[in-house]
Amino acid sequence: MIRQRRRALTPEQQQEMGQQAATRMMTYPPVVMAHTVAVFLSFDGELDTQPLIEQLWRAGKRVYLPVLHPFSAGNLLFLNYHPQSELVMNRLKIHEPKLDVRDVLPLSRLDVLITPLVAFDEYGQRLGMGGGFYDRTLQNWQHYKMQPVGYAHDCQLVEKLPVEEWDIPLPAVVTPSKIWEW
């Protein structure tokens, strides 16, 4: 249902909301202070990340994108992304940078990790796409200096999500209209 809501947005609405959310994200203190920021390429009606990526580049931030780990199923690597990066389609039909070990950044060196989500609630719980990639990535985020933050449309807010033992709540979610913090 939530995924249908975001898919129903017109291209104009998507573009406008992407710009608003990018502007708001660029005021979020962990992003302001960050040197390295992992983000994602929008897929299936997700909030458009292209305006955010461009603003991050203009601000001198190093941008990283998730790549499906080739040897460790269910895990992500984060590769440097720049305007000349070659993108390939992964097995989930999502674009990602072509794997080059020289471009991989360990999680311990990421300042901010911007995560996609299907829905979030008023308690910081997120519902992902079901693969568990970000739950595994975030399971020990407090041990790193990395600050995770969700990135979503306002229509993705729900009252309360069911919580499983492996679900990792987020300390913040940025939408076009608000920065939610817990």
24 is in an annotated binding site: no
What b-and-e string marks burial along 108-145, b requiring 16 or more CB atoms within 10 Å of the CB? Answer: eebbbbbbbbbbbbeebbbbbbeeebbbbbbeebeebe
The token duo for 123 is 């308690």
132 is in an annotated binding site: yes
- Residues 6+ positions from 165 with CB-CB distance below 8 Å: none
159 is in an annotated binding site: no
Beta bridge partners of 87: 97
81 is in an annotated binding site: no
110 is in an annotated binding site: no
46 is in an annotated binding site: yes
3 is in an annotated binding site: no
45 is in an annotated binding site: no
Cα 35 to Cα 23, 137, 145, 175, distances in angstroms: 17, 19, 12, 22
Question: In the chain, what is the straight-line distance between the N-terminal and C-terminal CA atoms, in Å?
Answer: 25
- Do residues 69 and 96 make contact, with C-beta atoms less than 8 angstroms apart? no
129 is in an annotated binding site: yes
What number of other Cβ atoms are within 10 A of residue 22's Cβ? 22
Annotated binding site for substrate: 41, 46
Annotated binding site: 41, 46, 126-134
Annotated binding site for ATP: 126-134
